[in-house]
């Protein structure tokens, strides 16, 4: 993978991350260019979600070594909301409930913040309608409170709706496909494919089935805080069939 | 009983532990000062008439005091021509007082707005939700930031009536609220939601009594207090279920959001259940702003200050979501949003 050039979105070099002094990520290097879809697979506890959280600036995670550059700028210089305003988006594995805050209000504030300009009501509604139609979402969701009482599938759809509205340069999707039925999976994939051509995408998943609908550029296998293997879409099929043990054993072999 | 003959309550009394009577009294505690009556007005959809039914004071010092401060009041009649009736009470002068009676004979939504610059305001509201009526009553305290408030309310809920009460406390410096509701006939239902915003050194005390005098009655109380700066919120609830009130269902939830190290919030639910076959539950929780909620909002580009404001607004709105009257919820929500937007610009 190239590490320079105008299309580079994200460059991670020798990243080490700890939580409460426990090392989770132990020397991870990865570059994502515009238009590329990277998929990270791996067992539970491998550090996949930690990577997504640290990229979005979650305060619980400490970078102990290594560098991250986003659009050629050191990422550590940006606060969480500055990262979002600079075009980073994280679809959360477990979207947070915000009681009393209506989805419509939240979306408008979010879009206004990221675009840094007032949005006219009619233009916003038109854009929102289009995005909701793409995701086959009912308009009644706009008056509900953010993720409050939502099913797993509804939460994930709302994450993708936010992604479409915010039109990110880097989309991080942390197990967005988990818990979705086949129809919902197809709809979520549609959203990802809409954003992907103009952005860099990092998809964290346990399942190959999402990749029936989203074609990855690279598939990485993360084990014990490191990327141990990188391949094309065929690697996901191989993992589905063989699991991860053969990769653990490979260096010794 | 005359106020002058009454024994002043001590702090050992549960009702006066957190806001002693002498601290809410407008002047020298033994006296009943002269008071200026509230200026009442109504937008449309009803009328206010002078005079009101005799107020039962029940031997309570605050109610006796309010009745001696002002001998007359107003009664509200609703004609049903508008979905929401707004009643405005303006308190002015050193000591100001008002009595309001609301007799709900038909489905009504009434919002009472209390505002003004009075140093001290006293309000006594009485009302009845008559049989088979759905009454939605909102109260918004938007008094001057320097005002003291003593507010008493007494409600009865008749057979198969539904009373929904929403209260938004955003004004006044020291406020004592004592709201009592009796469910006196089967099928009566009460949903009560109170949202409080504390800032500076605001002291807000809510004492809520709900009495299930008969069986097959329901009540649901939600108090949400968001406290900033050095503000202090106290919420005490007294829920009684009489011995014969089987098949009653009652719940109380008190939530406090602490926004600064020096803010304080007390939540003290109290249950007296004498019947056997009832459902009664209560819960109380105090916590600071959830960092995961902050992270989620900020990950969507929303700045820290605005994210905090959004969480506060959501927290305060959340109490109102238990109400079924959309008109009432919308009115409270709109007023709260305006208040918090003004706060952001402070």
Is A182 among the domain residues? yes
Read off the tokens for A241. Answer: 């069939």
Contact A110 B293 (CB under 8 A): no
Residue appearing with tokens 């609301």: B102
Do the Cβ atoms of B183 and B212 come closer than 8 Å? Answer: yes
Alpha carbon distance B19, B203 (integer Å)? 9
Per-residue H/E/C for A185-253: HHHHHHHHHHHHHHCEEEEECCCCHHHHCCCCCEEEEEECCEEEEEECHHHHHHHHHHCCHHHHHCCCC
Q: Which DSSP state fits A96?
A: P
Do the Cβ atoms of B249 and B278 come closer than 8 Å? Answer: yes
What does B264-318 look like in DSSP terms, one character per residue?
EEEEEEEEEE--SS-EEEEEEEEEE--HHHHHHHHTTT--HHHHHHHHHHHHHHH
Interface of A with B in 173-232 (CB under 8 A): none
Q: How many contacts (CB atoms, under 8 Å) link A and B? A: 85
Residues of chain A with pLDDT under 70: 1-6, 249-253
Read off the tokens for A178. Answer: 């988990």
Whether residue B51 has pLDDT greater than 90 = no
Residue A109 touches partner B, C-beta closer than 8 Å: yes
Is A202 among the domain residues? yes
Chain A residues lying within 8 Å of B299, measured CB to CB: 56-57, 80-81, 83-84, 89-90, 92
**Minimum Cα–Cα distance from A148: chain B residue:** B318
**Minimum Cα–Cα distance from B317: chain A residue:** A100
pLDDT at A252: 42
Contact A81 B295 (CB under 8 A): no
Chain B residues lying within 8 Å of A113, measured CB to CB: 300-303, 306
Is A24 among the domain residues? yes
Choose among A129, B340, A238: nearest CA to A230: A238
Of B53-67, B134-148, B306-320, give the lowest mean pLDDT range: B53-67
Is A253 among the domain residues? no
Alpha carbon distance B190, B265 (integer Å)? 25
Is A252 among the domain residues? no
Of residues B290, B299, B314, nearest to A80 (C-beta): B299
**Minimum Cα–Cα distance from B296: chain A residue:** A96
- The predicted-structure confidence for A48-75, as pLDDT tens digits, reads as follows 999 999 999 999 999 999 999 999 999 9
Is A1 among the domain residues? no
Of residues B302, B307, B318, nearest to A99 (C-beta): B318
- The predicted-structure confidence for A2-43, as pLDDT tens digits, reads as follows 444 459 999 999 999 999 989 999 999 999 999 999 999 999
- The predicted-structure confidence for B103-118, as pLDDT tens digits, reads as follows 999 999 999 999 999 9
Chain B residues lying within 8 Å of A89, measured CB to CB: 299
**Minimum Cα–Cα distance from B316: chain A residue:** A100
Chain A residues lying within 8 Å of B285, measured CB to CB: none
Contact A99 B314 (CB under 8 A): yes
Contact B300 A166 (CB under 8 A): yes
Contact A109 B306 (CB under 8 A): yes
Do the Cβ atoms of A10 and A68 come closer than 8 Å? Answer: yes
Per the prediction, chain B carries an average pLDDT of: 93
Q: In percent, how much of chain B has pLDDT > 70?
A: 98
**Minimum Cα–Cα distance from B224: chain A residue:** A100
Do the Cβ atoms of A2 and A31 come closer than 8 Å? Answer: yes
Of residues A90, A98, A110, nearest to B311 (C-beta): A98
Query: Binning pLDDT at 50, 70 and 90, where does residue B52 land?
Result: low
Q: CATH number for the domain including A209? A: 3.40.50.300
* H or E element, residue B344: helix B326-344
Rounded to an integer, the average pLDDT of B167-171 is 96
Is A2 among the domain residues? no
Cα Dmax for chain B: 62
Is A117 among the domain residues? yes
- The predicted-structure confidence for B186-220, as pLDDT tens digits, reads as follows 999 999 999 999 999 999 999 999 999 999 999 99
Read off the tokens for B17. Answer: 């532990």
Contact A81 B318 (CB under 8 A): no
Interface of B with A in 206-265 (CB under 8 A): none
A238-247 own/partner pairs: CB under 8 Å, 24+ apart: A239/A41, A239/A208, A240/A207, A240/A208, A244/A42, A244/A43, A247/A221, A247/A223
Number of domains making up chain A: 1
- CA angle B144-B149-B152, nearest 5°? 140
Chain A residues lying within 8 Å of B301, measured CB to CB: 81, 84-85, 110, 113-114, 166
Of residues B293, B302, B315, nearest to A113 (C-beta): B302
Residues 6+ apart with CB under 8 A from A106: A98, A146, B297, B300, B310
Contact B292 A99 (CB under 8 A): no
Terminal-residue alpha carbon distance, chain B: 46
Interface of B with A in 275-334 (CB under 8 A): 290-293, 295-304, 306-307, 310-311, 313-318, 321
Residue B160 touches partner A, C-beta closer than 8 Å: no
Do the Cβ atoms of B94 and B33 come closer than 8 Å? Answer: yes
The alpha carbon of residue A171 is apart from the nearest alpha carbon of chain B, in Å, by 12
Query: Binning pLDDT at 50, 70 and 90, where does residue B185 land?
Result: very high
The alpha carbon of residue A110 is apart from the nearest alpha carbon of chain B, in Å, by 5
Of residues A57, A92, A98, nearest to B314 (C-beta): A98
**A77: domain range?**
8-247
Of A100-114, A123-137, B311-325, B332-346, give the lowest mean pLDDT range: B332-346
Of residues A92, A113, A145, nearest to B301 (C-beta): A113
Interface of A with B in 132-161 (CB under 8 A): 145-146
pLDDT at B53: 56
Q: Which DSSP state fits B93?
A: S
């Amino acid at each position: 993978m190239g590490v320079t050039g105008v299309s580079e979105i994200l460059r991670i070099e020798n990243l080490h991350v700890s939580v409460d002094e426990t090392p989770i990520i132990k020397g991870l290097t990865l570059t994502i260019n515009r238009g590329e879809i990277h998929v990270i697979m791996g067992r539970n506890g491998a550090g996949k979600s930690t990577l997504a959280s640290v990229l979005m600036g979650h305060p619980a995670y400490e970078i102990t070594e290594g560098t991250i550059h986003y659009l050629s700028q050191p990422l550590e210089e940006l606060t969480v909301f500055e990262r979002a305003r600079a075009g980073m988006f994280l679809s959360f594995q477990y979207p947070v409930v915000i009681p009393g805050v209506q989805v419509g209000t939240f979306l408008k504030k979010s879009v206004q913040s990221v675009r840094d300009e007032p949005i006219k009501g009619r233009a916003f509604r038109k854009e929102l309608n289009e995005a909701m139609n793409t995701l086959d979402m009912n308009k009644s969701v706009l008056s509900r409170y953010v993720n409050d009482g939502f099913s797993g599938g509804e939460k994930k759809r709302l994450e993708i709706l936010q992604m479409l509205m915010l039109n990110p340069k880097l989309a991080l999707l942390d197990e967005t496909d988990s818990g979705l039925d086949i129809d919902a999976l197809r709809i979520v994939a549609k959203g990802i494919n809409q954003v992907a051509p103009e952005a860099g995408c990092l998809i964290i998943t346990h399942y190959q089935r999402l990749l029936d609908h989203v074609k990855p550029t690279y598939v990485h296998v993360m084990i014990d805080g490191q990327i141990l293997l990188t391949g094309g879409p065929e690697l996901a099929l191989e993992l589905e069939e063989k699991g991860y043990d053969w990769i653990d054993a490979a260096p010794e072999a | 009983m005359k106020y002058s003959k009454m024994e002043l309550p001590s702090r050992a009394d549960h009702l006066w532990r957190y806001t002693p009577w002498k601290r809410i009294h407008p002047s020298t505690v033994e006296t009943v000062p002269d008071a200026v009556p509230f200026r009442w007005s109504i937008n449309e959809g009803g009328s206010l008439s002078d005079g009101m039914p005799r107020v039962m004071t029940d031997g309570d010092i605050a109610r006796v005091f309010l009745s001696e401060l002002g001998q007359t009041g107003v009664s509200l009649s609703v004609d049903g021509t508008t979905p929401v009736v707004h009643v405005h009470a303006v308190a002015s002068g050193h000591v100001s007082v008002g009595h309001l009676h609301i007799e709900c004979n038909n489905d009504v939504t009434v919002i009472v707005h209390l505002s003004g610059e009075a140093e001290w305001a006293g309000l006594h509201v009485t009302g009845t939700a008559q049989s088979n009526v759905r009454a939605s009553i909102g109260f918004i305290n938007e008094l001057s930031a320097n005002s003291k408030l003593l507010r008493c309310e007494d409600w009865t809920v008749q057979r198969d009536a539904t009373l929904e009460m929403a209260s938004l406390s955003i004004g006044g410096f020291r406020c004592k609220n004592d709201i009592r509701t009796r469910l006196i006939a089967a099928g009566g239902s009460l949903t009560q939601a109170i949202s409080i915003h504390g800032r500076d050194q605001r002291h807000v005390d809510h004492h809520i009594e709900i009495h299930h005098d008969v069986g097959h009655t329901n009540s649901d109380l939600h108090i949400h207090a968001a406290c900033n700066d050095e503000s202090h919120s106290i919420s005490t609830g007294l829920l009684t279920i009489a011995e014969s009130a089987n098949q009653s269902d009652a719940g109380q939830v008190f939530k406090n959001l602490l926004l600064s190290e020096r803010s304080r919030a007390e939540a003290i639910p109290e249950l007296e259940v004498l019947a056997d076959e009832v459902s009664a539950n209560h819960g109380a929780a105090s916590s600071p702003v959830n960092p995961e909620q902050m992270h989620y909002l900020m990950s969507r580009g929303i700045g820290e200050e605005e994210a905090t404001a959004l969480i506060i607004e959501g927290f305060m709105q959340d109490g109102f979501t238990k109400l079924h009257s959309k008109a009432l919820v919308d009115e409270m929500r709109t007023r709260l949003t305006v208040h918090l937007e003004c706060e952001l610009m402070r």
